[in-house]
A and B are shown apart, each in its own frame.
Chain A
Amino acid sequence: LAKTTQPISMDSYEGQEVNITCSHNNIATNDYITWYQQFPSQGPRFIIQGYKTKVTNEVASLFIPADRKSSTLSLPRVSLSDTAVYYCLVGDISNQGGKLIFGQGTELSVKP
């Protein structure tokens, strides 16, 4: 199973774009890259998922280079409410008995 490495914490200010990079050097061919967001005292919430190149939805963008050994979650113009822990997950859930494998995540703090 691919191990992920991401920064433990990041600080930003309201209105800025935030990019959180995740390294996953031993990603397998069938693995997808998924990002979850977790607010204090709540369960994680799915943000975005991708396999390669770029994926964009109403919340974020996910950039994946051709070698797929890293990925970057981009949050445009963050607000105070984006303060949360962001988890990068890599795997083929259909081959993992439904198991999502979470690392320690990146604690994002957005300041006014």
Chain B
Amino acid sequence: NAGVTQTPKFQVLKTGQSMTLQCAQDMNHEYMSWYRQDPGMGLRLIHYSVGAGITDQGEVPNGYNVSRSTTEDFPLRLLSAAPSQTSVYFCASSYGRTSYEQYFGPGTRLTVT
């Protein structure tokens, strides 16, 4: 199993550009989440999904969209990039039910100039 994969690893955008961060998992996990990590602030939840076709907002959803058309994939879309979105983005998945552990992807480092 590859676990949780994310692409790209690094990305530089100009203000106003849009892009999609990709996340995929091959563990048949129902639950997937997107976090952003900023220095001194821990990880903050952007959006999450409890299954295909079901998504909801987390703590910091503004400026981001998600969709979950399959169990495996959970892309994060930046609609119009802003410098405040410069961060490291982590995707995570978990089986749920009796197994609570969240598995994180390797992260995407995004810089918006």
| A and B held together in a complex | no
